[in-house]
Amino acid sequence: MRGDAGVVCFPLTTEEVQHCVRIAGRHGRAVVPRGAGTGLAGGAVPKDAPVVVVTTKMQQVEVDRDRRLVWVQPGVINLDLTKQLRPDGFHFAPDPSSQQSCSLGGNVANNSGGPHCLAYGVTSAHVVAIEVVLGDGELTMLGGLDPEPAGYDLRGVFVGSEGCVGIATRIAVRLTPNPPAVATLLADFVEPADAAAAVSAIIAAGVVPAAIEMMDQRITQVVEAFVGAGYPTDAGAILLVEVDGLPGGVAAETALVDEVCRAHRARSVRVAADDEERMLLWKGRKTAFGAVARVKPNYYLHDTVVPRTKLLDVLRQVYEIADRHGIIVMNVFHAGDGNLHPLLVFDAREPGVLDRVHDAGEEIVRASLDAGGVLSGEHGIGLEKQPFMGWQFTTVDLDAQARLRDAFDPDGRCNPAKVLPAGSRCGDLQHLDDSRRRQLLDDGAWV
C-alpha cells in the first residue's frame, strides 16, 4: 500500500506534537501518526496528503522501579526496551516478530501480540496509562497509575485504536519480571493434524505455556535453509512450546508437554540444552517472514483468529484456497490462541498475480469468519481489512464504533479513512442515494 504525505514532521516532545496537530488543524489538514512503519494493514499509510507525524525520534525512557513500570515515548523500539530492562531482571512481555524494529507507539496503536502473549497477554494487558494528543491538539491522560483508576476505561479504548482517536506521546507500561527458569521444546509431527490436536491437548492438560507456535513443512524448510536452527525439514509440522516459571514447575510442565506431544504421535520432542540453542530455535521463528524471500520476492501476510478447535479445518481450507488460485502458501502462527498467519508468497512481476493473491486472501478471511473467528488478532484493520468490517459487525456495531471515535475526534481529523468503512454511522446510510446504498448492501458492508 502506498500513499502521499502533504507534510512530514519529526517531533521530539509532546509539545511539538501538539504544535504539529494544531497547525494542521488551522490549514484543514488531517493528521496521520506513524511509527517505525512495520505495520501490515496499511494503518499508517497517508491518504489525501495529510500531515504525517512521525514519532521515531521520541525515544526517552523513564524507569520507575518502585511502581514496577516504565514511561516510554512512542518511538522506543520494542526489543530495545527489553534489552534496557533485562539487567534489572525485567522485560516487556509483548514480543511481535518485528520486535527488533517495531515501536511502542505502534504496539499500542495495534494492540500488538507475539508468541509470548499466550500466557502474558497482548499489549493492552501491559499498558497502565497513556498521554495522548487529541485531534484538536488538546493533551489528556488516559488511564492512570492507581490500581483502579476512576471513571471509564478510556485507556482500553485507545489501545488498538490505530491512530484514529489521537496520538500517544508517553506510555506507562508494566515491568514483567524475568522468569527464574525457562524451557523451550521442539516437537515434530508427520501430520499437521496431530500437531494441531496436541496444541489443544496441552492446554486441556492444565498447562498454559508462555508460547505455542506452529509451523508447517513449507515454512520449516525455508527457515531451516535460512537460519540453520535445527528444524527437521521432513516434518509435516513442528511445534515450538515454551514454559517458564519456578524451576520445579518448569520441570513438571516440560515433562507433561513432552508426554502429551508423544501421545499425539510426535516423532520426537527435543528440549533446548541451553540459552544459545533456545535463542536459535526462536530466531528461526522470528525470521520466518524474511526467509520467504528465498522462494519468491513478495508475500502477503494475513492475520485472522479462529477457535483452536477449528485450526485444522481452517488450515485445510487455506491450502485449498491457495492451490485453487495457483499461489504458494506457508503457515506459521500462534497456535495457542488460534492466531493464523498464512503467508501468500508470490512474484509481483507475474501478470495477474496480484488479483489472484487478493482473491485468495479475501477467501481466507471469509473462511476464518465462517469458522467463528475474527478479522484480526494483532495487525489491525487499517486499509487492508476495512472492506470486510461489515462481514463481522452489524450496522449497530459499526455505528457505535463511529460514535465512540467521534467522541474523541469530532472533526474526523485523526487518521481518517481507516478502519471503519464509509457510511459506518447509521445516519450516513440514510443519506446515501439508492444506488450507493444497494452497492454497500451487495458488497456485504451492511449486514
What sign has the CA pseudo-torsion 254, 255, 259, 262? Answer: positive
Q: Which pLDDT does position 445 carry in this prediction?
A: 40
User: Mean pLDDT over residues 101-116, rounded?
Assistant: 96
Q: Which long-range contacts (CB under 8 A, 24 or more apart) does 293-297 make?
A: 294/222, 294/225, 294/226, 295/222, 295/328, 295/345, 296/328, 296/345, 296/346, 296/347, 297/347, 297/348
Name the pairing type of β-strands 298-301 and 342-346.
antiparallel
Q: Which pLDDT does position 427 carry in this prediction?
A: 58
> Closest Cα to residue 184, out of 205, 209, 208, 159?
209
Listing DSSP states for 47-110 in one string gives: -SS-EEEE-TT---EEEETTTTEEEE-TT-BHHHHHHHHGGGTEE-----TTTTT-BHHHHHHH
8 sits in which H/E element: strand 7-9
pLDDT exceeding 70 applies to what percent of the chain? 95
Q: What structural domains does the chain harbor? A: 1-178 (3.30.465.10), 181-289 (3.30.70.3450), 296-370 (3.30.70.2740), 386-442 (no CATH)
Q: Which pLDDT does position 424 carry in this prediction?
A: 85
Q: Which pLDDT does position 436 carry in this prediction?
A: 42
> Closest Cα to residue 367, out of 301, 307, 302, 318?
318
pTM: predicted TM-score of the whole model, two decimal places = 0.92
User: Each residue of 269-306: pLDDT tens digit?
Assistant: 999 999 999 999 999 999 999 899 999 999 999 999 99
Scanning the structure block, which residue is given the C-alpha cell 464504533?
Answer: 401
Q: Which three cell numbers stand for residue 32?
A: 496521520
User: Mean pLDDT over residues 329-345, rounded?
Assistant: 94
* Averaged pLDDT of the chain: 93
User: Each residue of 223-265: pLDDT tens digit?
Assistant: 999 999 999 999 999 999 999 999 999 999 999 999 999 999 9
- For residue 428, pLDDT over 80 is answered with no
Q: Which residues have a Cβ under 8 Å from the Cβ of 7 and sit 6 or more positions away?
A: 24, 29, 51, 52
User: Each residue of 179-200: pLDDT tens digit?
Assistant: 999 999 999 999 999 999 999 9
Query: Which residues does residue 333 pair with via DSSP β-bridges, in sequence order?
Result: 214
The confidence band for 432, taking pLDDT boundaries of 50, 70 and 90, is: very low
Cα–Cα distances in Å, from 64 out to 85, 88, 126, 173?
Answer: 11, 12, 15, 10
- For residue 57, pLDDT over 70 is answered with yes
- For residue 442, pLDDT over 60 is answered with no
